């Protein structure tokens, strides 16, 4: 399976795929569906302008950022909206740092704090840190077919094979034609629905189909949802590896 | 009286049983009182005050400690309250306070905590954290200083002089970091304080959270906290602002309800314990009636009415109960006085408790409660004596004499 890279800190988890599928439906196995999804979402590097809209009840907060990612393990997002201007998120492997320009200092996020929502959004730090690790953590089966927004989809069920997972099971609706996960439900061990994500807009970039507007809602937070919009997406552009370093954060 | 001491051992056993029941009830009531007093004291001074003035928006989401629901002109509200003759006399302390959830970080270690921001001078008479500062530290005496709970310091491996990195969402939704210098570490013995709380100056919090002078709440402590609901209504009428919520502590959170439930449960327990303790009187009186059938027969043949026989035996039971209750009540009261001054350290049991209670509980000494338990013991002793006494009263004189 080709290495799939996260497009940015905030969308890494939403774009996850899984491996080790065995069951077949409509001629494609879970593995094959994931490989096709993988082909859509794989790249060496990516740059884009992101907008995060955090809805809580009647209020909405908008945050803007410029994001760059390299491989599975490195991503950098710098916020550009006036309130957070200069705040940076740096992800290297499973580590996450936040740089605050006001104090010119960095804070590392670790432990149970990773389960908290990033910037008050419905996306947890752990969601953001997840990438192709899902392949190692879940077994996938094709449980049927369904339609999402009028588009036929394969329905995949991902069951955790290891204990160290945030969601015990995931259910994924994958567009049969474009191989994009249009909808995903994340469940706890008890079966309780924790989060739901939906792709609201897909864009064709070259020969790939890219989800550029997605929404995730934390089912435990009443009236809360977060939309993520990617604009000016540039794939496989030259990016210096040195930008993904703690030393570079303060510059 | 002569009848009671006919079989001293048996009567003493009955008194002892009632005495132990009374003692247990009174000691349990003292413990409950101490626990509840500790809960109310810590809850009001650390969190709500006796009365809390906030925006209605904050009150609706108070458990989340939102920082985007500020009172914009807290000084005007304070001024109105201070100049109201009907209210000002009842207010002991009034101060602005902001409580907000934060992420703390030190050398890669993270912990969530709650920042309590208030005027350091006023908080000396409210939070009293300056009394619990460990040697080597001191209380806040300048900006950007903080004192933190010993549990927090241990978890994050922080000491006096270190910088505390505090990350929080500001009122405009932005993510902010501020570094405070740790000038003191406190250990109060209240797990929820020591493990989760740190105190910072109000001015720093306002700047950090970008409140533009606004405050989350105005905390009011009264001379008599029983007046909280009435004074809250007066303040609400005075302010006449539909966007504000003036709430007495009894209407915040579940503690007031918890206290009511606890009291009901303990009262029911008292009743059960007293019945169990006094039940021995029923057994003893039944034996007494059987042993004294001939005597009962003679009394009846001499013209004693049913009621007179009933009262005779009932009085014996009540007498045992009175002495048992008085002895038990007296010993219980004495024990409560001792435990009131010495206290009992429950720290090993309270470590993981989320209630704001002190680790050392000091029993309450309440004379009316003690009197109530003694009276309860007497009444229940009378009640449990009714059946054997009725049996004696209903005996036929001839049958009673013949049966021996």
Query: Regarding beta strands A88-92 and A95-100, do their DSSP bridges make them parallel or antiparallel, or are they unpaired?
Result: antiparallel
Q: Is A163 helix (H, G, I), strand (E, B) or coil?
A: coil
In a domain, B252, yes or no: no
CB-based contact B173 A54, cutoff 8 Å: yes
**Are B23 and B328 contacting, i.e. CB atoms less than 8 angstroms apart?**
yes
Do B35 and B104 sit in the same domain of this protein? no
Query: Regarding beta strands B197-201 and B109-118, do their DSSP bridges make them parallel or antiparallel, or are they unpaired?
Result: parallel
Residue partners of B320: CB distance under 8 A and separation at least 6: B4, B11, B14, B15, B18, B281, B284, B381
Closest chain A CA to residue B209: A83
B62 DSSP 8-state letter: G
Do B26 and B120 sit in the same domain of this protein? no
- Distance in angstroms (rounded) separating the CA atoms of residues B226 and B222: 9
pLDDT at residue A66, as a whole number? 94
Q: What is the pLDDT of residues B297-356, one digit of tens each?
A: 888 888 888 888 888 888 888 888 899 999 999 999 999 999 999 999 887 777 666 677
Closest chain A CA to residue B170: A83
Q: For residue B395, count other CB atoms closer than 10 A to its CB.
A: 21
In a domain, B50, yes or no: no
- Distance in angstroms (rounded) separating the CA atoms of residues A157 and A173: 9
Please give the radius of gyration of chain B, using alpha carbons only, rounded to the nearest integer.
Answer: 30
Do B293 and B337 sit in the same domain of this protein? yes
The more confidently predicted of residues B111 and A131 is B111
Nearest by CB to residue A111, choosing from B110, B170, B173, is: B110
In a domain, A16, yes or no: no
Q: For residue B136, count other CB atoms closer than 10 A to its CB.
A: 10
Do B117 and B205 sit in the same domain of this protein? yes
User: What tens-digit pLDDT sequence spans chain A (251 residues)?
Assistant: 333 433 445 544 344 433 333 334 457 888 788 778 878 777 889 999 999 999 988 889 999 999 999 877 889 999 999 999 999 999 888 788 999 999 999 999 876 667 777 777 888 877 766 655 566 788 889 999 999 999 999 999 999 988 878 889 999 999 999 999 999 999 998 999 999 999 999 998 888 898 899 999 999 888 889 999 999 999 889 998 888 998 888 77
Q: What angle do CA B197, B257, B112 make, to 5 degrees?
A: 20
In a domain, A213, yes or no: yes
Residue partners of A5: CB distance under 8 A and separation at least 6: A41, A42, A43, A44, A46, A69, A70, A71, A72, A131, A132
In a domain, B47, yes or no: no
A127 alpha-carbon distance from chain centroid: 7
A162 DSSP 8-state letter: S
In a domain, B177, yes or no: yes
Do B104 and B183 sit in the same domain of this protein? yes
In chain B, what residues touch A109 (CB-CB under 8 Å)?
Answer: 103, 105, 110
CB-based contact A103 B172, cutoff 8 Å: no
Closest chain A CA to residue B109: A110
Element (H, E) at B29: helix B8-43
Q: Of B182, B215, B248, which residue constitutes the final position of a domain?
A: B215
Q: What is the 3-state secondary structure (H, E, C) of A116-128?
A: CEHHHCCCEHHHH
Q: What is the pLDDT of residues B345-399, one digit of tens each?
A: 887 777 666 677 777 899 999 899 999 999 999 999 889 989 888 888 888 877 7
Do B118 and B177 sit in the same domain of this protein? yes
- Distance in angstroms (rounded) separating the CA atoms of residues B140 and B120: 7
Q: For residue B213, count other CB atoms closer than 10 A to its CB.
A: 12
Nearest by CB to residue A83, choosing from B109, B110, B173, is: B173
Closest chain A CA to residue B105: A107
Q: Would you list which residues of chain A are within 8 Å, Cβ to Cβ, of chain B?
A: 54, 61, 63, 83-84, 87, 98, 100, 102-103, 105, 107-113, 116, 119-120
Do B210 and B300 sit in the same domain of this protein? no
**Are B334 and B342 contacting, i.e. CB atoms less than 8 angstroms apart?**
no
- Distance in angstroms (rounded) separating the CA atoms of residues B180 and B200: 8
Closest CA to B134 of B189, B180, B92: B189
In a domain, B251, yes or no: no
CB-based contact B167 A110, cutoff 8 Å: no
Indicate the length of chain A as a whole number. 251
Closest chain B CA to residue A105: B177
In a domain, A238, yes or no: yes
Q: How far is CA B14 from CA B291, B325, B397, in A?
A: 17, 11, 28
CB-based contact B179 A87, cutoff 8 Å: no
In a domain, A46, yes or no: yes
Q: How far does the CA of residue A171 sit from the closest CA of chain B (Å)?
A: 31
CB-based contact B108 A54, cutoff 8 Å: no
In a domain, A136, yes or no: yes
**Are A45 and A236 contacting, i.e. CB atoms less than 8 angstroms apart?**
yes
- Distance in angstroms (rounded) separating the CA atoms of residues B216 and B115: 13
Q: How far does the CA of residue A213 sit from the closest CA of chain B (Å)?
A: 22
Do B392 and B285 sit in the same domain of this protein? yes
pLDDT at residue A19, as a whole number? 33
Q: What is the pLDDT of residues B125-174, one digit of tens each?
A: 888 899 899 999 999 999 999 999 999 999 999 999 999 999 998 998 89
Q: How far does the CA of residue A196 sit from the closest CA of chain B (Å)?
A: 23
Q: Is B19 exposed, middle or buried (0-12, 13-18, 19+ CB in 10 A)?
A: buried
**Residue A86 sits in which domain range?**
24-249
In a domain, B237, yes or no: no
- Distance in angstroms (rounded) separating the CA atoms of residues B64 and B77: 24
Element (H, E) at B23: helix B8-43
- Distance in angstroms (rounded) separating the CA atoms of residues B302 and B120: 84
Q: What's the number of domains chain B is made of?
A: 2
Do B172 and B286 sit in the same domain of this protein? no
| Cβ contacts from A onto B, under 8 A | 55
In chain B, what residues touch A116 (CB-CB under 8 Å)?
Answer: 103, 112
| DSSP result, B166-231 | EEEE-TTS-EEEEEEEEEEEE--S-HHHHTTEEEEEHHHHHHHTT-TT-BSEEEEEES-GGGHHHH
Q: Which residues pair with A128 in a beta bridge?
A: none
Q: Which residues pair with A220 in a beta bridge?
A: none
- Distance in angstroms (rounded) separating the CA atoms of residues B201 and B205: 7
Question: The tokens of B108 are what?
Answer: 């890669």
User: Which residues in B340-361 are b (16+ Cβ under 10 Å) and which e?
Assistant: beeeeebeeebeeeeebbbbeb
In a domain, B320, yes or no: yes
Q: How far does the CA of residue B150 sit from the closest CA of chain A (Å)?
A: 20
**Residue B119 sits in which domain range?**
67-215
**Are B319 and B4 contacting, i.e. CB atoms less than 8 angstroms apart?**
yes
pLDDT at residue A24, as a whole number? 43
Which CATH number do you get for residue A91?
2.50.20.10
Q: What is the pLDDT of residues B232-245, one digit of tens each?
A: 999 999 999 999 99
pLDDT at residue B163, as a whole number? 95
In chain B, what residues touch A112 (CB-CB under 8 Å)?
Answer: 110
**Are A233 and A48 contacting, i.e. CB atoms less than 8 angstroms apart?**
yes
In a domain, A19, yes or no: no
Do B33 and B71 sit in the same domain of this protein? no
pLDDT at residue A12, as a whole number? 46
In a domain, B15, yes or no: yes
- Distance in angstroms (rounded) separating the CA atoms of residues B129 and B247: 25
Closest chain B CA to residue A118: B175
Q: Which residues pair with A8 in a beta bridge?
A: none
Do B29 and B108 sit in the same domain of this protein? no
Q: Of B199, B215, B231, which residue constitutes the final position of a domain?
A: B215
pTM: 0.72
Find the helix packing angle between B306-342 and B8-43, rounded to 10°.
Answer: 40
Residue partners of A2: CB distance under 8 A and separation at least 6: A35, A38, A39, A42
Find the helix packing angle between B8-43 and B255-291, rounded to 10°.
Answer: 180
Q: Is B146 helix (H, G, I), strand (E, B) or coil?
A: strand
Closest chain A CA to residue B110: A110
- Distance in angstroms (rounded) separating the CA atoms of residues A120 and A16: 22
CB-based contact B110 A61, cutoff 8 Å: no
In chain A, what residues touch B164 (CB-CB under 8 Å)?
Answer: none
Nearest by CB to residue B167, choosing from A54, A107, A112, is: A107
Kindly report the backbone phi and psi dihedral angles of residue A223, in degrees, each rounded to the nearest multiple of 5, phi listed first.
65, 25
Q: For residue B155, count other CB atoms closer than 10 A to its CB.
A: 16
Q: What's the number of domains chain A is made of?
A: 1
Q: What is the pLDDT of residues B17-76, one digit of tens each?
A: 899 999 999 999 999 999 888 888 888 888 899 999 999 999 988 888 999 899 999 999
In a domain, A184, yes or no: yes
Q: Of B215, B243, B276, which residue constitutes the final position of a domain?
A: B215
CB-based contact B175 A113, cutoff 8 Å: no
Mutate to test the interface with B, among A107, A115, A222 (most CBs of B within 10 A): A107
- Distance in angstroms (rounded) separating the CA atoms of residues A195 and A170: 10
The ipTM (two decimal places) reads 0.77
Q: What is the pLDDT of residues B201-223, one digit of tens each?
A: 999 999 999 999 999 999 999 98
Do B172 and B90 sit in the same domain of this protein? yes
């Amino acid at each position: 399976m080709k290495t799939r890279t996260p497009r940015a800190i905030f969308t890494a988890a939403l774009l996850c795929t899984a491996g080790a599928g065995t069951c077949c439906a409509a001629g494609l196995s879970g593995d094959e569906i994931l490989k096709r999804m993988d082909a859509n979402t794989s790249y060496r590097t990516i740059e884009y302008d992101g907008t995060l809209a955090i809805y809580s009840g009647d209020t909405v907060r908008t945050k803007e950022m410029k994001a760059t990612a390299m491989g599975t393990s490195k991503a950098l997002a710098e916020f550009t909206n006036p309130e957070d201007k200069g705040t940076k998120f740096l992800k290297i492997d499973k580590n996450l740092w936040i740089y605050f320009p006001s104090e010119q200092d960095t804070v590392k996020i670790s432990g149970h704090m990773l389960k908290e929502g990033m910037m008050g959004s419905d996306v947890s730090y752990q969601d953001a840190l997840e990438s192709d690790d899902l392949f190692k953590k879940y077994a996938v089966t094709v449980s049927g077919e369904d339609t999402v927004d009028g588009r036929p989809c394969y329905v995949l069920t991902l069951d955790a094979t290891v204990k160290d997972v945030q969601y015990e099971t995931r259910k994924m609706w994958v567009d049969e034609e474009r191989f994009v996960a249009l909808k995903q439900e994340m469940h706890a061990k008890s079966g309780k629905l924790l989060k739901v994500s939906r792709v609201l807009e897909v864009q064709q970039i070259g020969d790939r189909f890219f989800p550029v507007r997605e929404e995730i809602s934390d089912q435990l937070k009443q009236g809360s949802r977060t939309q993520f919009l990617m604009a000016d997406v540039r794939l496989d552009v030259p990016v210096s590896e040195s930008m993904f370093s703690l030393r570079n954060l303060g510059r | 009286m002569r009848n009671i001491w006919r079989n001293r051992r048996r009567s003493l056993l009955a008194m002892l049983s009632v005495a132990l029941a009374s003692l247990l009830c009174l000691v349990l009531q003292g413990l409950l009182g101490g626990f509840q007093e500790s809960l109310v004291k810590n809850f009001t001074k650390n969190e709500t005050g006796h009365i809390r003035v906030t925006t209605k928006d904050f009150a609706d989401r108070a458990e989340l400690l939102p920082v985007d629901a500020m009172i914009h002109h807290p000084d005007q509200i304070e001024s109105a309250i201070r100049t109201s003759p009907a209210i000002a006399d009842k207010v002991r302390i009034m101060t602005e306070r902001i409580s907000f959830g934060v992420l703390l970080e030190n050398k890669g270690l993270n912990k969530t905590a709650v920042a309590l921001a208030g005027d350091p001078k006023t908080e000396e008479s409210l939070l009293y954290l300056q009394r619990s500062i460990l040697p080597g530290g001191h209380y806040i005496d300048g900006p950007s200083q903080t004192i933190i709970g010993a549990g927090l310091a241990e978890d994050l491996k922080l000491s006096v002089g270190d910088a505390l990195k505090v990350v929080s969402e500001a009122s405009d939704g932005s993510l902010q970091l501020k570094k405070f210098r740790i000038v003191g570490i406190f250990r109060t013995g209240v797990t929820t304080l020591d493990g989760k709380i740190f105190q910072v100056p109000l001015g720093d919090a306002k700047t950090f959270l970008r409140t533009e002078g606004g405050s989350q709440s105005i905390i009011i402590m009264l001379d008599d906290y029983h007046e909280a609901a009435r004074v809250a209504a007066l303040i609400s009428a005075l302010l006449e602002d539909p966007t504000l919520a003036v709430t007495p502590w009894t209407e915040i959170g579940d503690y007031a309800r918890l206290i009511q439930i606890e009291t009901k449960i303990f009262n029911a327990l008292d009743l059960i314990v007293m019945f169990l303790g006094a039940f021995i009187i029923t057994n003893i009186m039944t034996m007494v009636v059987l042993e004294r059938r001939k005597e009962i027969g003679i009394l009846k043949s001499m013209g004693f009415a049913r009621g007179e026989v009933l009262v005779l035996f009932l009085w014996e039971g009540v007498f045992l109960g009175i002495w048992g209750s008085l002895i038990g009540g007296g010993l219980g009261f004495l024990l409560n006085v001792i435990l009131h001054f010495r206290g009992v350290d429950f720290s090993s049991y309270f470590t993981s408790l989320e209630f704001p209670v002190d680790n050392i509980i000091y029993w309450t000494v309440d004379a009316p409660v003690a009197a109530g338990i003694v009276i309860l013991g007497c009444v229940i002793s009378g009640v449990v004596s009714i059946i054997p006494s009725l049996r004696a009263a209903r005996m036929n004189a001839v049958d009673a004499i013949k049966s021996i």
